[in-house]
């Protein structure tokens, strides 16, 4: 059985962040957040990384990211552009309505399909997920005859930003499996500590701190692409004329579940999370990485060391 693949969603524009957060330096030796995820993936038994980027950042990505990682871990690049895999009629219409960006994370994953020939995990480039999460999903993906998917959910209270609202996939979990996931796009915390989401009509809906949410840490068998493409084709048929519509992976996962195409297990992992949604989040991320490094969780120079791979994987 081939080792699982880690797929990194790194094509984002970073509109709220104000720049390319997937290449913003966080570690003392110019490491970015995805360095730590790939490092954790390697020592959890993954065999290759596939980075999904845009063509216009390829040169910088190779210089500032791949120059460190590629000599230590097999890497490949996939490219997500607005016209990637899009039928000509839909593309022509999108240009008429002045669409300027690609079609979301489901679209991104489909752009990497030809490079994925083993069970795989999907993550965001600008999130830190923690060693425990990679161990959990790595073990799951190493299962023989894998026929299910997986998600590593996080407690909502651990995933907020003090800088503003965030979008999270609200997860309903039943008997250890994901029953549904609903994208909430305006989650924040009140001054008194209560967490709420603002609906499209302006109403507030309060959420418990312990609510499990998707941070786009998914695991799938390599056979998922036919169904994923079917879902994306349906999305283009219904929303292709909306210049801002995006096809998110949590939406696809929910569709898999509701159509009995794939069971998705919710994996337990007591793992920290932090990210850089806003520019102001960067200093907190730098501090957290420094604390983990000082505690010996990561070496000071991430890729100049021998990585111990857990023999269980």
215 contact partners, CB below 8 Å, separation of at least 6: 124, 127, 129, 152, 153, 154, 159, 168, 169, 273, 275
Residue 267: count other Cβ atoms within 10 Å of its Cβ. 20
Assign residue 164 a region: left if phi > 0, alpha if psi is -120 to 50, beta otherwise? Answer: left
What's the mean pLDDT when you consider all of the chain?
91
Closest CA to 240 of 79, 99, 80, 54: 99
Q: How confident is the model at residue 1 (pLDDT cuts 50, 70, 90)?
A: low
Note the pLDDT tens digit of each residue in 191-236: 999 999 999 899 999 999 999 999 999 999 999 999 999 999 999 9
Q: How far apart are CA 307 and CA 302, in angstroms?
A: 9
What whole-number distance in Å separates Cα of residue 300 and Cα of residue 83? 41
The backbone torsions φ and ψ at residue 243, rounded to the nearest 5 degrees and listed phi first, read -65, -15
- Which of 177-181, 271-275, 286-290, 309-313 is predicted least confidently? 309-313
- Of 1-15, 84-98, 136-150, minimum mean pLDDT range: 1-15
Please name each of the domains of the chain with its CATH number: 5-294 (3.90.550.10)
């Amino acid at each position: 059985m081939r080792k699982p693949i880690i797929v990194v969603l790194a094509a984002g524009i970073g509109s709220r962040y104000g720049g390319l957060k997937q290449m913003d330096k966080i570690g003392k030796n110019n490491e970015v957040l995805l360095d730590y995820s790939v490092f954790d993936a390697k020592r959890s038994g993954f065999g290759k990384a596939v980075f999904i980027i845009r063509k216009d950042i390829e040169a910088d990505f190779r210089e500032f990211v791949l120059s460190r990682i590629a000599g230590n871990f097999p890497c490949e690049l996939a490219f997500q552009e607005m016209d990637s895999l899009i039928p000509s009629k839909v593309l022509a219409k999108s240009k008429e309505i002045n669409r300027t960006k690609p079609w979301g994370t489901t679209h991104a994953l489909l752009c990497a399909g030809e490079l994925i020939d083993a069970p795989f995990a999907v993550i965001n480039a600008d999130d830190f997920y923690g060693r425990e999460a990679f161990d959990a999903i790595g073990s799951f993906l190493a299962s023989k005859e894998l026929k299910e998917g997986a998600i590593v959910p996080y407690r909502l209270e651990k995933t907020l930003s003090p800088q503003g609202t965030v979008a999270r996939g609200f997860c309903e979990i039943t008997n250890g499996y994901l029953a549904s996931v609903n994208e909430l796009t305006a989650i924040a915390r009140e001054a008194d500590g209560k967490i709420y989401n603002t609906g499209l009509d302006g109403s507030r809906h309060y959420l418990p701190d312990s609510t499990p949410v998707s941070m786009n840490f998914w695991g799938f068998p390599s056979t998922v692409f036919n169904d994923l493409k079917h879902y994306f084709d349906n999305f283009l048929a219904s929303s292709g004329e909306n210049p801002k519509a995006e096809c998110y992976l949590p939406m696809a996962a929910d569709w898999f579940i509701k159509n009995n195409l794939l069971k998705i297990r919710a994996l337990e992992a007591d793992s920290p999370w932090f990210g850089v949604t806003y520019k102001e989040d960067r200093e907190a991320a730098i501090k957290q990485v420094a604390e983990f490094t000082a505690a010996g969780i990561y070496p000071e120079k991430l890729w100049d060391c021998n990585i111990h791979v857990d023999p269980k994987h």
